[in-house]
Amino acid sequence: MKTYSVIIKEIAQELGFMYCGISKAVFLEEEAAHLETWLKRGYQGKMSYLEGHFDKRLDPTKLVPGAQSVISLVYNYFPKEDLTDSSPYKIARYAYGEDYHVVIKEKLTHFINHIETKIGKVEGRAFVDSAPVHERAWAAKGGLGWVGKNSLLINKNSGSYFFLAELILDLKLAPDGPIKDYCGTCTRCMDACPTAAISEPYVVDASRCISYVTIELKDEIPSEFKGRMEDWAFGCDICQEVCPWNRFSTAHSEPKFLPQGWEKLSKKEWKEMTEVVFAKVFKKSAVKRTKFKGLQRNITFIKSDK
C-alpha cells in the first residue's frame, strides 16, 4: 500500500512539477536569527512588507492552524530559446511568458483536489510567492536543493531556473531530509554581480539588486546604478547565468511560459512604447508588476547609460 508521501509525490509529477519535498511544519528557529539580522541591516530596501508578519514567515502553523506538513514544489521555467542577447532590453527569464503566480496557483488548486480524491479531506493553503512563507528555507529543508551564495535555491541536477511553491496542510507526512551545500569555494555569482548586491556569501543586499531596482523600487533609480544595469529592464539573471550548476538546466515544457510577443519588439518600439501597447504586450505577464511608468523609467535610465 502506498504511503501518503508517495501519493503526494506522484501527484506532483503528474501535474508537471520537477521536484517535491516534504518537511514537518515547525518553527524555523535557525532562519529566524538570519532574517532578523538581514532586516536590521536594511537589506530589504523599501520592501516594507518583508518586515511584517515576522512570525508567520517562520511558523507555518500561524498561516494554517493545525498544520502538520509543508510540501515544497519546484516548477521549471528555463526557456528553450534564450532571448537575453537578441532583445534590445533584457527581461529575466522567469517573466518570458504568462505570470507564474496565476499558472502555478491553478496547478496547486488541482493538486489539493487530487489529494482529497486519493487521500481524503484536508485543511490547508496553497502558496506561490504570495504570502509570508520562507520558501527557500522550506525547499532546502525538504531536500530540494541548498540555498546558494546568491540566496537562490540550487538543485544539483537542475540548477536554479525554477519557481517555488508550497502546500501547507494538516496532513501528517513523512518528512524528507535536507542535503549538503555544494557551492564549495565558488564565488562566481558574487564576482559577477555588477552592483555588488551579494554583500557576503549567502547574504544579498536586496536594495542593491537589479531585480529590486527594476521591479520593487517605485522611486527614481539612484544615480549610483549608472553604467551598472547591463540593459536589464525587468529583473536580472546574472548570478544565475554564471552559476556552474545551471549547466544542468533543461528547457521547460510549459506552453504558458513561452514568450508572449514582447520578444519581437524593436529597440525603437521599446523606446516609443505607449501605455496601450504595454497593456497589450504584457497583458498576462509578470512584467505588469512594474507598471508602464516603471518600465519607462527603467528604459530611460538604461538609455542614459549609453
Catalytic residue positions, numbered: 129
DSSP for residue 95: G
Question: Buried (b) or exposed (e) across 146-178, using 16+ Cβ within 10 A?
Answer: bbbbbbbbbbeebbbbbbbbbbbbbbebebbeb
Q: Which secondary structure element, helix H or strand E, spans residue 20, and what is its range?
A: strand 19-24
| Residues 6+ away with beta carbon under 8 Å from 111 | 11, 12, 15, 126, 167
Torsion of CA 291, 294, 295, 298, to 10 degrees: -170
Burial class (CB in 10 A: 0-12, 13-18, 19+), 126: buried
Strand order through the sheet with 162-169: 19-24, 69-76, 162-169, 124-127
Distance set, CA 291 to CA 31, 63, 107, 113, 182 (Å): 33, 30, 26, 34, 38
In the numeric block, the cell 520578444 is attached to 263
* C-alpha–C-alpha distance, residues 147 and 184, integer Å: 12
* C-alpha–C-alpha distance, residues 18 and 144, integer Å: 10
* C-alpha–C-alpha distance, residues 51 and 221, integer Å: 22
Question: Residue 99 in contact with residue 256, Cβ under 8 Å?
Answer: no
Question: Residue 15 in contact with residue 110, Cβ under 8 Å?
Answer: yes
